Amino acid sequence: MEDPIAQDSTPIFQRIKDYLLGEIAAGRWKEGDVVPSEQALVRQFGVSRMTVNRAVRELTAEQVLTRRQGSGTFVAPQKYQATLVEIRSIADEIRARGHRHRSSLHVLEKVRAPDVLALQFDLQAGDMLFHSVIVHCENEVPIQVEDRWVNPACAPDYMNVDFSTTTPNEHLMQAAPLQDATYSIEALHAPRDIAAMLTIEPGQCCLVLKRRTRALGKVASVVTMWHPGQLYQFAGSVG
């Protein structure tokens, strides 16, 4: 009987990549763990250093692995994904990955709308808005600062919500089902207060999603969501 490995037409560098990815997916190597050296992989697979180097180099470019000069190659920090096609609660996004969600409420207040916000909500300057700032954690790692302004006409009970058991998104979707939304994404340096909440260094790059939603014929919410750039990416599909 022929050796099934010999019959495998998959390029050897790809088989090395699949092996490394499989060990990570199985949890045998976790974030920050060192992976076998290129010399060890050369011995294990009986191939040239060039072939092993290609596999490791491609996984590094794909941000699965990270190399540290003089220290070795390690499993890179996971980049958590958020979908842009469907507006979902971050708690649902995290649970869908099989991880734990926890949030901490930093601000919950009633504020008279300054000119810029009043314009975004199609309100008069001085009209009342609700304001919340919540930090969302995935497996105890802060991954989002949610700075949200809410129209009381769309969610009159917002100030009474227990945000340790639900998210603003979940409450708003029940109180005022979404009609439409506009959003923008940009890379910004974290100001000191945002950095402190995300436990990153001030000035570190963040992915920032700004979204304006409408419901009940009104602007319901304007939210800015800060994510540490080294841990997060946005993804989506159409069709």
Domain ranges, ordered by start, for the chain? 4-75, 80-235
Residue 234 has pLDDT above 90, yes or no: no
pLDDT at 87 over 70: no
In CATH, what number does 4-75 get?
1.10.10.10
pLDDT given for residue 237 in this prediction: 46
Confidence of residue 62 (pLDDT cuts 50, 70, 90): confident
| Residue 83 clears pLDDT 90, i.e. is over it | no
Q: Which of 66, 38, 68 minimizes the C-alpha distance to 53?
A: 38
Averaged pLDDT for residues 178-201: 90
Mean pLDDT of 21-36: 85
The answer on pLDDT for 82 being more than 60 is no
Could you tell me which CATH number the domain at 80-235 has?
3.40.1410.10
pLDDT at 50 over 80: yes
What average pLDDT is seen over the chain? Answer: 86
Q: What is the mean pLDDT of residues 164-177?
A: 91
Percent pLDDT > 90 in the chain is 51
Residue 79: band (very low, low, confident or very high) from pLDDT cuts 50, 70, 90: low
What's the rounded mean pLDDT across residues 15-29?
A: 85
pLDDT of residue 5: 42
Q: What is the mean pLDDT of residues 152-176?
A: 93
Distances (CA, A) of 43 to 49, 50, 75, 103, 196: 9, 13, 21, 47, 46
Under the banding of pLDDT at 50, 70 and 90, the label for residue 161 is: very high
Res. 222: pLDDT tops 60 = yes
Over residues 32-58, mean pLDDT:
93
pLDDT in tens, 89-146: 888 888 888 889 999 999 999 999 989 999 999 999 899 999 999 999 999 999 999 9
pLDDT tier at 3 (50, 70, 90 boundaries)? very low
